[in-house]
Structure 1
Amino acid sequence: MAVISRTRVRLWWERAFWVIPTVGVLAGIALSEFVSQVDDELMRGGYVPQLVSASSTAQLLSAIGGGMITFTGFVFSFVVLLLQFGSSQYSPRTVSYFLRARATRVILAIFLGTVTFTFVSLLDVGSLGRPDYAPAVTVILAVMLLFTSLAAFIWLLHSVGSRMRVDAVLSDLGRRARGQLAVLVGSRASVSAADDEAPSGALIVRSAGSGQVIAVDQSGLVRLAARRGLRIWVARQVGDAITPGAPLLRVVAPKGLELSSALQARLRRAVVIDSERSLRYDPFYALRLLVDIAIKALSPGINDPTTAVRALDEIEGVLRVAAGLPLGARQAVRGEGRVVVPAPSWADVVALGLLEIMVFGAGQPQITRRVTALIDDLVADVGEELHPPLEQMRAELVSLLGAESFDSELRRIAIAPDRQGLGGRLGPVPASSAPVAES
């Protein structure tokens, strides 16, 4: 289960906001001790003249350290306010997306390292039995760290500002979704499709914890199943919520083999459960966030259909990648062992990407026109076996439009395809669209 061990470590690293800032504090202490020794050697050898008095040095270091504490508190209060504002505009689930930015952690480490260095260095002022001793290299380095912190502050403003722009957020989520789909789902091409359910007499391995399924170590389960002759059906797919005692796996064991507590524990460890879904290991979570941002933009309190259109641009890219991948439940067989892992089908992915946006945006011609163009483009590019879910979405869109109080001309405009939503040409109603009866 080495794969799962690495997964747990990576999840911990993603969410351990304190690690890099703590390294900054420790680095500040270590740097202060090292520079102190350099100052001592240079002063004893008479290589460096005393640039400033001991009292001036103490005042300078105190001013830098105290000022940086105040500055750090102000800066990160400002950042938290920006993140709260941004998450209220996008989705509550995007808070963790913003906080996981490595730039924020590194900049906080620089600030805290500067504070630690200056305060620890104050202990050297007036040391070596000389009340007028002022460590020259320490003073120079403290000033350099101050300017480095100011440069880091400018970098932070640029990083936060760039990361919070709606187009940047949507583009990054779309890129993550496409990349993770290609890596995680595309890697399953070597295993075959599976459409059978676990037999009614299968033994149930129940969850010991609660949260959401983050990842499944299919290769580890296959090795275990091959050694023990097990047939295993994973009862929850990645992204599903689970509670203590809920079925986690269903297992058919050969006669004479009992599922001991130790074996059940090994089976449970193959499924990672955590409190929050992961963009790294859950390729459909980024798609979920794109949809959340779109429907939040379509809410009456915000009423920003252009943002929803941009989300649909990225969703189309995700659906194009998904159309070429082996979706749905997959099975891996080795010897007498067999493992079946559930996953969304093409119809599930299409519904996830489009259905809610269509429901909330049926009264917005920008949305209906963009969805029509998206469906037309995908129908033209993907195989015929993938057309039914797309045509079903088209029929649902026509039905939703029929419930709106539009006149016949507005209905014609609303169902015409337009990749910009509004702003492209007012094209004809596609022949594949059913007519919408006037209300």
Structure 2
Amino acid sequence: MNKLRQIWSNLRSSFWFLPSLMVLGSVVFAAALIEADSAWSDRWLTQWPRLFGVGAEGARQMLSTLAGSMMTVMGVTFSMILVALALASSQYTPRILRNFMRSRVTQVTLGIFAGIFAYCLIVLRTIRGGETEFVPSLAVSFAFFLALGGVGALIFFIHHIASSIQASNIIASIAHETIAAIERLFPEKKAHEPDEDEGQSQVLEALDERTWYSVPAAVSGYIQSVDNDVLLRLARDSKTIVRMERGVGAFVVQNTALASLALTYPPDQEMIAALNKAYSISRHRTAEQDPSFGIRQIVDMALKALSPGINDTSTAVMCVDYLAAILTRLACRQFPPSHRYDGEALRVISIVPTFEGLLAESFDQIRRSAEGNVSIMERILGAIETIASLTVSPCHRRALKEQVQRIAGLADRSIASTHDRAQIKRRMIHVREALEAQLALNAGEERA
């Protein structure tokens, strides 16, 4: 299942798959119209001679012109795409290029132009002149309407390219994909539900006393996803414990430890192959099971915006705003446990994301690059205040307080202006009050 999911993800992000399907559909559609022309052409010419009455030479010229025009337009479209990719890569970060390639608008536009070209070629080869003249009037007339549709697609594509390379649209698209992954992976946290592994009733076994055998990775690459059900079933069938050595999003080198098994004997090749099949490893990361990758992309854009060569504070501020939107969604979610059981028996020790880790991933590097930047510090403090208003977890609040303390230290070191330091301190007072107010509210609810 992981392999099929990986293949489908690669197909979705390719430039050729959807356009190829559209070309195939246009070939089938052209063949269907030609067959309809063969059966009903005389009747149509009698009823609508002005619409369908066209000679063989005129039909050839029109279809040849349309086919050539579509190839020219498709070349221009490819050039626009390459320019947009190069601009986005240099201005923002190379990690967002895959998002451009996954764009349905881009893939459909290429498919429309290639499909019209293939349609015209199929119809063109059926036109015959001379004594046995045959002109598929319906198919030729429909090619004219396809050409008009292609012009509309080109205009819309130009608008799409112009808007898609704007920083706000790129950041919003990444945030939307990340939030969708969060909603799919992390369930809603119920009232008074313990955090992550808190409140776990089972007592962990003496794991250090066991003999662990490492399972080497079959290939090198980034772990895109892990089928946890397969790991649990493998551990249950072998009556062992599977310990993940690399989590989703991590890079693993071939023949290094991917996971470890608690066994009394080394695992055989069949077990090693079965465990490797539970992992999807490829050349790049995806956000399917890795919401930290979406956060990483937005952080990279913020760091590029804060670099001395670009110095675009507004883009960095937008990045912080969308990171706040992602983290507020995470604050209301239940994170998966790191230990999975089959009844009372421990079976899988996973490497799972935590709120504290994702919070640090979001703000640590941006904070280090924001020395002396009052706007970014204030925006991060505002984001922390927003997150604090929605979280009820003591662990989350502790992590937020640590972020406030780090910003306070950064402000004291890097801000020379007394007025700006006072402004940051006033902002921190409001954030601390929000954290304390939430703490008091939770304590009151627990007493009630």
Instruction: Bin the TM-score by the shorter chain.
Output: 0.7 to 0.9
Distance 1:313 1:191, change over 3 A: closer
Q: CA deviation at 1:380?
A: 4.5
Counterpart in the other structure of 1:98? 100
Calculate the TM-score normalised by the size of structure 2: 0.86
Q: Work out whether residues 14 and 101 of structure 2, in 8 Å CA contact, stay in contact via their aligned partners in 1.
A: no
Query: Are 1:282 and 2:316 matched, yes or no?
Result: no
Q: Work out whether residues 128 and 135 of structure 2, in 8 Å CA contact, stay in contact via their aligned partners in 1.
A: yes
Matches within 5 A, 1:111-260: 111-126=113-128, 130=131, 132-186=133-187, 193=197, 199=208, 201-253=211-263, 255=264, 258-260=266-268
Q: CA deviation at 1:147?
A: 0.9
Q: Secondary structure of the equivalent of 1:147?
A: helix
Counterpart in the other structure of 2:316? 308
Cα displacement string for residues 191-237 of structure 1 (whole angstroms, at most 9, x for unaligned residues): 97389996473010010101101111111111221122120011111
Instruction: Work out the CA distance in 2 between the residues paired with 1:38 and 1:190.
Output: 67
Q: CA deviation at 1:59?
A: 0.8
Q: CA deviation at 1:83?
A: 2.6
Counterpart in the other structure of 2:72? 70
Instruction: Work out the CA distance in 1 between the residues paired with 2:414 and 2:196.
Output: 44
Instruction: Work out the CA distance in 2 between the residues paired with 1:90 and 1:269.
Output: 35
Counterpart pick for 1:360 among 366, 369, 391: 369
Q: Secondary structure of the equivalent of 1:361?
A: coil
Q: Work out whether residues 198 and 233 of structure 1, in 8 Å CA contact, stay in contact via their aligned partners in 2.
A: no
The alignment covers a number of residue pairs equal to 420
- TM-align CA RMSD: 2.8
Of 284-293 and 167-176, deviating more is 167-176
Q: Secondary structure of the equivalent of 2:125?
A: helix
Q: Work out whether residues 198 and 250 of structure 1, in 8 Å CA contact, stay in contact via their aligned partners in 2.
A: no
Tell me, which stretches of 5 or more residues in structure 2 are unaligned? 436-448
Counterpart in the other structure of 1:422? none
Q: Work out whether residues 219 and 253 of structure 2, in 8 Å CA contact, stay in contact via their aligned partners in 1.
A: yes
Instruction: Work out the CA distance in 1 between the residues paired with 2:272 and 2:188.
Output: 27
Q: Secondary structure of the equivalent of 2:30?
A: helix
Cα displacement string for residues 149-181 of structure 1 (whole angstroms, at most 9, x for unaligned residues): 112112322333333322222222222222212
Of 155-164 and 142-151, deviating more is 155-164
Distance 1:270 1:428, change over 3 A: closer
Q: CA deviation at 1:332?
A: 1.4
Q: Secondary structure of the equivalent of 2:414?
A: coil
Q: Work out whether residues 45 and 53 of structure 2, in 8 Å CA contact, stay in contact via their aligned partners in 1.
A: no
Instruction: Work out the percentage of aligned pairs sharing the same amino acid.
Output: 24
Calculate the TM-score normalised by the size of structure 1: 0.87
Q: CA deviation at 1:81?
A: 0.6
Instruction: Work out the CA distance in 2 between the residues paired with 1:7 and 1:63.
Output: 42
Distance 1:394 1:190, change over 3 A: closer
Cα displacement string for residues 353-387 of structure 1 (whole angstroms, at most 9, x for unaligned residues): 11111111122111011112222333454233322
Cα displacement string for residues 302-323 of structure 1 (whole angstroms, at most 9, x for unaligned residues): 1111111111111112212222
Of 96-105 and 152-161, deviating more is 152-161
Counterpart pick for 1:53 among 44, 52, 55: 55
Q: Secondary structure of the equivalent of 1:162?
A: helix
Q: Work out whether residues 381 and 404 of structure 2, in 8 Å CA contact, stay in contact via their aligned partners in 1.
A: yes
Instruction: Work out the CA distance in 2 between the residues paired with 1:225 and 1:430.
Output: 46
Distance 1:23 1:180, change over 3 A: same
Counterpart in the other structure of 1:392? 402
Instruction: Work out the CA distance in 2 between the residues paired with 1:275 and 1:31.
Output: 38
Counterpart in the other structure of 2:299? 291
Of 37-46 and 110-119, deviating more is 37-46
Matches within 5 A, 1:251-270: 251-253=261-263, 255=264, 258-270=266-278
